[in-house]
Amino acid sequence: LLLVGKSNSGKSVICEIARFIVGEEFTCHIRPEEMNEPWLLSSIKNKKLNLVYDSILSDSLSNVGFKQIISGEPIRIDKMYTGSEVIVPVAKHLFVMNRISRIKDSDDLFSRLLVLRISKTINTENQNPELTGLLKEELTKIIKWSQEGLSRLDSNKGVFTTVTYNETDKDFEEPSLTEMISNFLTHSNKIKLVEDGEIPIHLFKTLFEEFAKIEPLPYMSIGRTMRNLGYRNF
């Protein structure tokens, strides 16, 4: 399950409730990029839930170890002092992402990923810091509600009774640099222009990369895109 949404959208609350339901002793925290290393995988033995709160990168979902684990294939783990062994992991995976970019070799993954997009964000003044604790008090009812949902899912042969969003390959396309810069110019509140409309390119580049949450780009790519958008540099 991929929870996709901006900060302050409640993703961590969902994760906390899942951890409460399963129990801390049956929960591990292994990132997808760590799933190629047998010694990092050792903690998944006998666990029911693999929970990763931190935003993960889409590319890490394409590695061989991740595909092998979510397919239910036997894997080799290497635990300190006990040696190497082969197990079939049963843990389900819950990951948090701020945004999804293109996933390499995505065709085989789509049948195994359930994407839940959380579009609403809650302003700080409207957040309830006690929400997780209040929901924990309702845990018995939440588990009963979950069991009812599982029963419906089982009777429907694994098909969800209500599908409000179907993830397709198009949804994982990386936006173009032009689209990202246009979005930055429209929505960023950190652009501070001097009176004659100039901003140093190095400052623009830094602010844009922080806004878009991307790796550093060549100055030439940014300059060319800005010129195509009608801006001029000098």
DSSP notation for 154-200: HHTTT--S-------GGGGPPPPHHHHHHHHHHH-S-----TTS---
pLDDT of residue 165: 47
Look at the pTM and tell me if it is higher than 0.85: no
94's CB contacts (< 8 A; 6+ apart) are 1, 3, 15, 18, 49, 50, 51, 52
Structure confidence by residue, pLDDT tens digits, 149-171: 889 888 888 776 654 445 554 55
Q: Which tokens belong to 36?
A: 């190629």
Q: What average pLDDT does range 184-202 have in this prediction?
A: 75
In the predicted structure, residue 193 carries a pLDDT above the cut 70: no
β-bridge mates for residue 79, sequence order? 83
Q: What is the pLDDT of residues 74-103, one digit of tens each?
A: 888 888 777 788 989 999 999 998 877 666
Answer for the pair 207, 188: CB distance below 8 angstroms, yes or no.
yes
Q: In the numeric block, which tokens belong to residue 101?
A: 């970019």
Distances (CA, A) of 208 to 26, 36, 55, 217, 226: 41, 33, 20, 10, 12
Mean pLDDT of 183-211: 80
